[in-house]
Structure 1
Amino acid sequence: MNHLSLVKELVQAYQAFEAHSAAHIKEMGLTMTQFDIIATLGNQPPMTCKELGEKTLISKGTMTGVLERLEAKGLIEKLMNDEDGRSYKIGLSKTGDKLFKKVFPEHVEHLGKAFRKLSKQELEQAVTVLKEVKAIFN
């Protein structure tokens, strides 16, 4: 067996996970990117666009449009940045926080149902191997 077998399995595992996760998020009325932003802002103090981009890995171009749509839905709010008057910070609105408190635990439980098919030992082994694979590229 060579490394291409591992690459194939990694890609297929990620695609299967992404499809399973995205379908549930869509059922909740959100896109993956919107969910990513709401989940990142949940239980956190407001943050700048740059900080949000670093934590979510969403590109600046995509971020602007998604933030505009979330703001139009009343889920986020822009606040003056006391540390830098030229920029603002983004936080969840009361409506956004309420949504976060509903969708985040629901999604964690949705994923948990799938991962419960693995034993505790299998989960630990998978985490260990994935960390080792990631370390190869860091």
Structure 2
Amino acid sequence: MLKPRRSLTLALLQAREAAMSFFRPSLNQHGLTEQQWRVIRILRQQSELESHQLAHQACILKPSMTGVLTRLERDGIVRRRKSSEDQRRMFVALTEQGQQCFVEMSAGMESNYLKIQEQFGEEKLEQLLALLNELKGIKP
């Protein structure tokens, strides 16, 4: 009988959990979920996105994205606007308060990255990020 192959997907999930253990305390301190932080971070980088593009980049299913955006909008972090050309298209951007939230959290998040880098090594971290980026590009 063949020895089972090590599970790539399980190893990725376990590595994600190990990495997130550094960031969850900061998120909890600011009252944000992981999904909300991903949305804030992506919008900070991309400015304004259509909601379906944001869902894709944040790896959040569209039905879940609706709830995430509703809570962030309620809390004044994002604003949504419908396209003037096509009312079915919804655009999302950070508000000034959302921008400030990102700025307030940045130092703590950077500190967490440095903690990971200290334990894992800068070169290995860069190599890992490059390999993961390459893995994202493969197609079934």
Check whether TM > 0.5.
yes
The residue type equivalent to 1:13 in the other structure is A
Once the two structures are superposed, residues 37-60 of structure 1 have per-residue CA deviations (whole angstroms, 9 ceiling, x without a partner) of: 111111433211111111111011
Q: Choose 44-53 or 2-11, whichever is displaced more.
A: 2-11
Map residues 1-138 of structure 1 onto 2, 5 A cutoff.
3-4=5-6, 9-127=11-129, 130=132, 134=135, 138=139
Q: Choose 51-60 or 123-132, whichever is displaced more.
A: 123-132
Give the superposed CA RMSD.
2.8
Once the two structures are superposed, residues 66-118 of structure 1 have per-residue CA deviations (whole angstroms, 9 ceiling, x without a partner) of: 11111111111112324423333111111111111221343133222222223
Over 3 Å counting, the alpha-carbon distance change for 1:73 and 1:123 in structure 2 is closer
Over 3 Å counting, the alpha-carbon distance change for 1:95 and 1:114 in structure 2 is same
Q: Kindly indicate whether the alpha-carbon contact (under 8 Å) linking 1:39 and 1:104 is maintained by their aligned counterparts in 2.
A: no
The residue type equivalent to 1:64 in the other structure is T
Unmatched tracts of structure 2, length 5 or more: none
SS at match of 1:116: helix
TM-score (norm 2): 0.77
Q: Between the two proteins, what is the percent identity of the paired residues?
A: 27
Q: Kindly indicate whether the alpha-carbon contact (under 8 Å) linking 1:81 and 1:87 is maintained by their aligned counterparts in 2.
A: yes
TM-score (norm 1): 0.78
Alpha-carbon distance in structure 1 between the residues aligned to 2:46 and 2:130: 28
Count residues in correspondence. Answer: 137
Alpha-carbon distance in structure 2 between the residues aligned to 1:131 and 1:76: 28
Alpha-carbon distance in structure 1 between the residues aligned to 2:36 and 2:22: 16
